[in-house]
Structure 1
Amino acid sequence: MIQIALVIMVIIGLVHLWIVKRRNDYTAREIIRQLNKSRDMKRTMAMGLHTRFNFKRDPETGKILEKTSDLFIKQTAHEFEDFVSDVIEDYYGGEAEVTVGSGDHGVDIRHFRDDGLYLGQVKAFKEDMNYLPIALIHSNMVKENAKGGFVVTTGNFTDKARQYAQDLNIELIDGETLVNYWLIGLEDKDKELVGQPEEIKT
């Protein structure tokens, strides 16, 4: 009788383990699926940023030259610098400022953080960025004794660019990462406005 009870308990235990394993496998698959959907969304948003900040304006009238839907936000590459400056400031804190056009020696953004000055260059590119902007930022970092640097693109970086940037204290921010920083900054602003759930008084 005791042996039958033990066998039944072992069978119940094995069935329980099998059910738990299946549930855990399903949960793991679901998490991976959601992460992939999230990654696709961020890549799509990066493509949208490229389009948004690549409209050409008539130099005399300031009007957008390309005809598109009124739904689209139409901005220029220079306005992309302002956008990235805000995103970087929201994400890292400190104070970020866009440099004035000519004479900036390839530095688009100067970001003052608690630990020092960071220099950045930004490009709304659809192709993968090579190492040249990284070399330019590194040169300026040395000249200005900056703590670090960053290079931002709506696209990606070549493998050689990533190898070149190693050990230079220059962060490479591709389009997907930029969107991630932007979303985190927006989420933090929402929390500031609304407050954390536990902070809300009823």
Structure 2
Amino acid sequence: MDIQINLQMMTVIGAILITLIAVVNWIRLKSKHNDFAELLLDQIERDLELRKTLAMGLYMRFKKEESSSATTYSSNFLKEDPLSFEHFVADIIEAKYGGEMFVSKASGDFGVDFENRREDGLYMGQVKCTNKDVNFEAIALVHSNMEKWGAVGGYVITTSSFTKKAVEYADGLGIELINGVELVTMWLETMESDTAYLKQLNPSDI
């Protein structure tokens, strides 16, 4: 009888030990995976060429396709339209600065794609999914709306960059110009603050 009880106890203890070993190994693997994710995100943030490539990738993902275009894409690619880009950018701004976010309708937005209401006031933004540098007209539209609605700040955000005249025009207007590389950097920062989607992958995916 005692032998049987001892065997049962040894079996239970053995099962507990195996479980503990498995948990410890999982924690170690998860920690290694998280370290890898942090290193990868850090490397992307420091590598300008890589961020430029990602900015170009955002343009390809969200660019408007001509109706006559017969372009097909791999099922491995993400392909969305410019309206989705407005929501993509709005989500990044909301994640970074908080407040209440409102994305305008596709038509009749008068040059404002999103409104971000925060404790210090209203911010208005326009986004441009383009492969050409943005000129001053987009900035003028945002500034006009800021004046009309009493906004405290504004954004013009693009997958590309801005012309010299656009940068000069925006000076002193309270409008932040965010180019494609800066947008990618903000995207990565919101991933990190949100525990980063890379950390949600299974360690076996590395």
Same fold (TM over 0.5): yes
Distance verdict in 2 for CA 1:42–1:144, change over 3 Å: same
The residue that corresponds to 2:51 in the other structure is: 42
2:137 is the counterpart of 1:132 = yes
Number of equivalences: 155
Residue 66 of structure 1: how far off its partner (Å) = 2.7
Alignment partner of 2:167 out of 162, 171, 186:
162
1:150 partner SS: strand
Q: Which residue identity is paired with 2:63?
A: N
2:122 is the counterpart of 1:101 = no
Residues 106 and 137 of structure 1 are in contact (CA less than 8 Å); yes or no, is this contact kept in structure 2? yes
2-side partners of 1:148 and 1:95: how far apart?
Answer: 15
Residues 82 and 129 of structure 2 are in contact (CA less than 8 Å); yes or no, is this contact kept in structure 1? yes
Q: Which runs of 5+ in 1 are unaligned?
A: 1-33, 59-63, 195-202
Structure 2 length normalisation: TM-score? Answer: 0.70
Question: What per-residue deviation string (whole Å, max 9, x for no partner) do you get for residues 156-202 of structure 1?
Answer: 001110000000000000000100110000000007xx8xxxxxxxx
Distance verdict in 2 for CA 1:187–1:65, change over 3 Å: farther
Q: Percent identity?
A: 46
The residue that corresponds to 1:71 in the other structure is: 76
The residue that corresponds to 2:65 in the other structure is: 56
- Which shows bigger deviation, 35-44 or 134-143? 35-44
Residue 51 of structure 1: how far off its partner (Å) = 0.2
Residues 159 and 183 of structure 2 are in contact (CA less than 8 Å); yes or no, is this contact kept in structure 1? yes
1:110 partner SS: strand
Structure 1 length normalisation: TM-score? Answer: 0.71
Distance verdict in 2 for CA 1:36–1:113, change over 3 Å: closer
Residue 56 of structure 1: how far off its partner (Å) = 3.0
Distance verdict in 2 for CA 1:91–1:143, change over 3 Å: same
Residue 91 of structure 1: how far off its partner (Å) = 1.2
Alignment partner of 1:92 out of 85, 90, 97:
97
Residue 102 of structure 1: how far off its partner (Å) = 1.9
The residue that corresponds to 2:191 in the other structure is: 186
2-side partners of 1:172 and 1:155: how far apart?
Answer: 11
The residue that corresponds to 2:116 in the other structure is: 111
1-side partners of 2:74 and 2:113: how far apart?
Answer: 30
2-side partners of 1:145 and 1:103: how far apart?
Answer: 19
1:190 partner SS: coil
Structure 1: 4+ residue segments shifted above 2 A: 34-37, 55-58
2-side partners of 1:57 and 1:133: how far apart?
Answer: 22
Residue 101 of structure 1: how far off its partner (Å) = 2.1
Distance verdict in 2 for CA 1:116–1:86, change over 3 Å: same
The residue that corresponds to 2:5 in the other structure is: none
